[in-house]
Chains A and B, each alone.
Chain A
């Protein structure tokens, strides 16, 4: 094979890996949107908050240390001992469940039956609140997150692909980050678990019922509020997975919350109500922006990755506003 084709394959592979990361964030959006019709602007911040909390537990940080020190003139920063990965992850999951419960108690409960735009505004408020809370609890510095997932380029893959190049050509093999491969595998596992859960369990059936029709769900004896707590808890766990992946890749920093914005074009492509849509949409955006940058980028001076996804989404809105997998929008007049 000529190096050109191999380079293209490499770009596509890396695009797929990036796409998986987008899908992970989009997945959290879809879960909440399906069950409650709320576009949860805070999903990105939830990923950040989950990652911050995980690092906090791992390194034994004292929550609200700065606040406590300022108020009482003390100098506490660290317990001295941290939890191991497994316990830290379990504790973080518990924190996200507690968070889901609080959101239902303090926000959603009071806004039932309000316009979607009002609920959307509430989640914007929630996003800013959580960002501030994360800052106050764990500090604003950039943290490294390591839960033992291997990372770095795969030499094995480099060696294998080098032999694919046609004899005599200068080709040094493909670069692929092992962390990305792990992220892809975990994302697939997550989708399989979520699908099995929603298809084959009583709670899953209730979730599907609520997603389909609130009134009917109430009538057959399903408590909307319980379901909302469950859905936000699941979205919190998905956020944790996304937070671990993004955090391991580029450090836990507050710009992490901005990846939520990248999920928006993914959702427009895949449809707001479809779990497979979130995955396929993420992959298309990931591959699309990498290929565009590779082929067209040099002609227009590069940096196309910043805007390509949004232009693609705009294009989609014109021709298929419900997305690839979304429910068809039929308006009766």
Chain B
């Protein structure tokens, strides 16, 4: 992991991003990058523009200004499903799962961009289509083992408790085997035990699968523990960018979080 951080190998770079809704500025001239194989945190107070930033990367929002470079190529006005095909998966703060489907079906649907069999093959349902289905099932079962959710394989996810839903959502994002994983508050609303589990999963994904991760999180303890670099946003502007230690000791960051000191 540390090697990846040292090498100057950039997976995603946003340059001078500005985003506004009507007269309200959500993001102002934001630039930062995400290196291959790192865990990158985006933090900031409520309303700082963190989720807007993820939505820009993910294609839900289109910035008025700025460039997004992914995997060495500039990206023009892409819609979310095209971004997904490019290799960016994500989870949401308020969980976006297919609530009527089982855990297994949710993960299988997460692999939809990996499925190739064409319509005619699907109809007769033999040969390549069948072989492909088996192959996808195998990958999905591996992820289920990895996240330790075997017991809820056949449960409709709408019936699962909150913490489990978050885990299934992570599983669905993993199923796409994407290059970059965006996690929007993966530990929000969890108890200590669930948080520890989620932390371990995030780190394991990063180490075992080599997936690059960008996450938004409010729990500073978690952020400082698991991330390689942290970018701090406040009121749509970039306040600081650096290692957890640098950020922790940055005066502007302390002011934003604790109120301005007068000394």
Q: Which chain A positions have C-beta within 8 A of B99?
A: 212-213
Q: Which chain A positions have C-beta within 8 A of B96?
A: 213, 215-216, 219
Is the beta-carbon distance between B58 and A205 smaller than 8 angstroms?
Answer: no
Chain A residues with a Cβ closer than 8 Å to the other chain, count:
21
- Residue of A212, A213, A221, A327 touching B112 (CB-CB under 8 A): A221
Of A95-103, A152-160, A196-204, the one contacting chain B is A196-204
Query: If A200-B125, A203-B122, A213-B98 touch, does A218 touch B109 (CB 8 Å cutoff)?
Result: no
Task: Assess whether A209 is interfacial by the CB under 8 Å rule.
Answer: yes
Task: Assess whether A224 is interfacial by the CB under 8 Å rule.
Answer: yes
Please give me the residue from chain B that is nearest to A205 by CB atom: B109
Of B85-93, B202-210, B239-247, the one contacting chain A is B85-93
A5–B70 Cα distance when bound, in Å, is 74
Q: Which chain A positions have C-beta within 8 A of B100?
A: 208, 212, 327
Is the beta-carbon distance between A202 and B84 smaller than 8 angstroms?
Answer: no
Nearest Cβ in chain A — how far from B168, in angstroms?
Answer: 11
Fill in one digit per residue for B71-95: 1 if any A CB lies within 8 Å of its CB, else 0. 0000000011110110001101000
Q: Which chain A positions have C-beta within 8 A of B172?
A: 216, 220
Is the beta-carbon distance between B89 and A219 smaller than 8 angstroms?
Answer: yes
Is the beta-carbon distance between B113 and A220 smaller than 8 angstroms?
Answer: yes
Query: If A203-B122, A223-B79 touch, does A218 touch B98 (CB 8 Å cutoff)?
Result: no
A218–B96 Cα distance when bound, in Å, is 10
Q: Which chain A positions have C-beta within 8 A of B112?
A: 202, 205-206, 209, 220-222
Is the beta-carbon distance between B98 and A208 smaller than 8 angstroms?
Answer: yes
Task: Assess whether B115 is interfacial by the CB under 8 Å rule.
Answer: yes
Is the beta-carbon distance between A223 and B81 smaller than 8 angstroms?
Answer: yes
Is the beta-carbon distance between B81 and A224 smaller than 8 angstroms?
Answer: yes
Q: Which chain A positions have C-beta within 8 A of B89?
A: 219-220
Query: If A200-B122, A201-B122, A202-B122 touch, does A221 touch B113 (CB 8 Å cutoff)?
Result: yes
Nearest Cβ in chain A — how far from B175, in angstroms?
Answer: 8
Please give me the residue from chain A that is nearest to B98 by CB atom: A212
Fill in one digit per residue for A65-85: 1 if any B CB lies within 8 Å of its CB, else 0. 000000000000000000000
Is the beta-carbon distance between B84 and A221 smaller than 8 angstroms?
Answer: yes
Task: Assess whether B101 is interfacial by the CB under 8 Å rule.
Answer: yes
Nearest Cβ in chain B — how far from A62, in angstroms?
Answer: 34
Is the beta-carbon distance between A218 and B101 smaller than 8 angstroms?
Answer: no
Please give me the residue from chain B that is nearest to A211 by CB atom: B100
Q: Which chain B positions have C-beta within 8 A of A221?
A: 81, 84-85, 112-113, 176
A174–B147 Cα distance when bound, in Å, is 63
Is the beta-carbon distance between A201 and B98 smaller than 8 angstroms?
Answer: no
Q: Which residues of A199-243 have CB atoms within 8 Å of chain B's CB atoms? A: 200-203, 205-206, 208-209, 212-213, 215-224
Nearest Cβ in chain A — how far from B113, in angstroms?
Answer: 4
Nearest Cβ in chain B — how far from A177, in angstroms?
Answer: 33
Please give me the residue from chain A that is nearest to B92 by CB atom: A215
A106–B179 Cα distance when bound, in Å, is 36
Query: If A212-B100, A215-B96, A220-B176 touch, does A205 touch B84 (CB 8 Å cutoff)?
Result: no
A200–B122 Cα distance when bound, in Å, is 8
Is the beta-carbon distance between B80 and A219 smaller than 8 angstroms?
Answer: yes
Is the beta-carbon distance between B119 and A201 smaller than 8 angstroms?
Answer: yes
A217–B99 Cα distance when bound, in Å, is 12
Task: Assess whether B236 is interfacial by the CB under 8 Å rule.
Answer: no
Is the beta-carbon distance between B81 and A222 smaller than 8 angstroms?
Answer: yes
- Residue of B79, B90, B109, B176 touching A209 (CB-CB under 8 A): B109
Is the beta-carbon distance between B98 and A216 smaller than 8 angstroms?
Answer: yes
Task: Assess whether B108 is interfacial by the CB under 8 Å rule.
Answer: yes
A206–B122 Cα distance when bound, in Å, is 13
A114–B154 Cα distance when bound, in Å, is 35
Please give me the residue from chain A that is nearest to B90 by CB atom: A219
Please give me the residue from chain A that is nearest to B157 by CB atom: A212
Is the beta-carbon distance between A219 and B113 smaller than 8 angstroms?
Answer: no
Task: Assess whether B145 is interfacial by the CB under 8 Å rule.
Answer: no
Nearest Cβ in chain A — how far from B132, in angstroms?
Answer: 9
Q: Which residues of B99-141 have CB atoms within 8 Å of chain A's CB atoms? A: 99-101, 105, 108-110, 112-113, 115, 117, 119, 122-123, 125
A196–B92 Cα distance when bound, in Å, is 31
A200–B101 Cα distance when bound, in Å, is 14
Nearest Cβ in chain A — how far from B64, in angstroms?
Answer: 19
Query: If A205-B108, A222-B112 touch, does A216 touch B97 (CB 8 Å cutoff)?
Result: yes
Q: Which chain A positions have C-beta within 8 A of B109?
A: 205-206, 208-209, 220
A217–B97 Cα distance when bound, in Å, is 9
Q: Which chain A positions have C-beta within 8 A of B122?
A: 200-203
Q: Which chain A positions have C-beta within 8 A of B58?
A: 219
Is the beta-carbon distance between B125 and A220 smaller than 8 angstroms?
Answer: no
Query: If A209-B98, A212-B100 touch, does A218 touch B119 (CB 8 Å cutoff)?
Result: no
Query: If A218-B80, A221-B176 touch, does A201 touch B97 (CB 8 Å cutoff)?
Result: no
12 additional contacts (CB under 8 A) given A205-B108, A218-B60, A219-B96:
A202-B112, A202-B115, A208-B98, A209-B109, A213-B99, A216-B96, A219-B58, A219-B80, A219-B173, A220-B84, A220-B172, A222-B112
Which 8 pairs of residues, A with B, have the shortest CB-CB distance?
A221-B84, A221-B113, A216-B96, A212-B98, A201-B122, A218-B80, A215-B96, A223-B81
Can you give 9 A-B contacts (C-beta < 8 A)? A201-B119, A202-B112, A205-B109, A209-B109, A213-B97, A215-B92, A218-B81, A219-B58, A222-B81
